[in-house]
C-alpha cells in the first residue's frame, strides 16, 4: 500500500550497475597507489624526479574519477503503478528527489531506437514524454518495457471475480 492507500500493481527500483563493490573499489585504489608509488620510486632513484609530480597528479585524478563514479551509483529511479496512477521518483547521487505522476489509463510505453546506442524507454501521456531507466542496458530495458506494458494493460482491463456469475 502507498501513502494514499492505493494498492501497488507494479514497482521497479532502477539503479545503475556498478561492477565494483565499495571494498573492491578500495582494493583497486590501494593497488593503483602502491603501483604508482613503486614506479615513482624507481624513476626518482634514476634521477628523473619530475616524474614524481606527474605520476602523483595522475593517480590523484584517477582516484577522483573513481570516487565520482562510485558516488553516481547512489542515484536511483523508482517506478510505481497504483490504482491512482503511475509515479516516477528520481533520486540523484546527492539525494535530491523529483517526482512525476502520469494517469495509468492514458500512459503508453514507447521504446525509441537509437542507432548504435541502447534504445530509449519513454512513458507518454497527454503530450508529456518522460524517459525512464536511462541507466539500464538494452536487455533490461526491453524486459522493463514489456513488464510495464503488461502491468498497464492489467490496470486498464481488470478482471473481476463475481461469484454469482460462476457456473455452478
Strand, coil or helix: 79: strand
Q: How far apart are CA 154 and CA 66, in angstroms?
A: 43
pLDDT at 18: 76
Strand, coil or helix: 92: coil
Nine-digit cell at 50?
619530475
Q: How far apart are CA 145 and CA 163, in angstroms?
A: 34
pLDDT at 127: 86
pLDDT at 71: 82
Over the chain (168 residues), the average pLDDT of each successive run of 10 is: 74 86 87 90 88 87 86 88 92 92 91 91 91 91 94 87 77
Q: How many C-alpha atoms does 166 have within 13 Å on its Cβ side?
A: 6
pLDDT at 2: 59
pTM of the model: 0.72
Instruction: Yes or no: say if 145 and 111 are a contact pair by the CB < 8 Å rule.
Output: yes
Q: How far apart are CA 99 and CA 120, in angstroms?
A: 19
**3-state SS string for 95-130:** CCEEEEEECCCCCEEEEECCCCCCCEEEEEECCEEE
pLDDT at 1: 52
Strand, coil or helix: 81: strand
Q: Let me know how long the chain is.
A: 168
Amino acid at each position: 500500500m502507498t501513502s494514499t492507500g492505493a494498492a501497488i500493481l507494479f514497482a521497479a527500483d532502477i539503479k545503475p550497475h556498478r561492477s565494483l563493490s565499495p571494498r573492491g573499489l578500495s582494493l583497486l585504489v590501494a593497488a593503483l597507489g602502491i603501483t604508482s608509488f613503486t614506479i615513482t620510486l624507481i624513476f626518482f632513484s634514476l634521477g628523473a624526479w619530475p616524474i614524481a609530480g606527474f605520476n602523483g597528479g595522475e593517480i590523484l585524478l584517477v582516484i577522483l574519477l573513481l570516487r565520482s563514479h562510485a558516488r553516481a551509483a547512489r542515484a536511483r529511479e523508482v517506478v510505481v503503478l497504483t490504482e491512482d496512477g503511475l509515479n516516477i521518483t528520481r533520486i540523484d547521487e546527492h539525494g535530491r528527489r523529483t517526482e512525476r505522476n502520469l494517469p495509468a489509463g492514458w500512459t503508453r510505453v514507447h521504446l525509441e531506437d537509437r542507432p548504435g546506442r541502447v534504445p530509449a524507454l519513454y512513458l507518454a501521456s497527454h503530450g508529456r514524454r518522460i524517459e525512464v531507466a536511462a541507466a539500464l542496458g538494452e536487455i533490461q530495458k526491453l524486459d522493463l518495457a514489456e513488464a510495464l506494458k503488461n502491468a498497464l494493460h492489467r490496470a486498464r482491463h481488470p478482471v473481476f471475480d463475481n461469484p454469482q456469475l460462476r457456473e455452478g
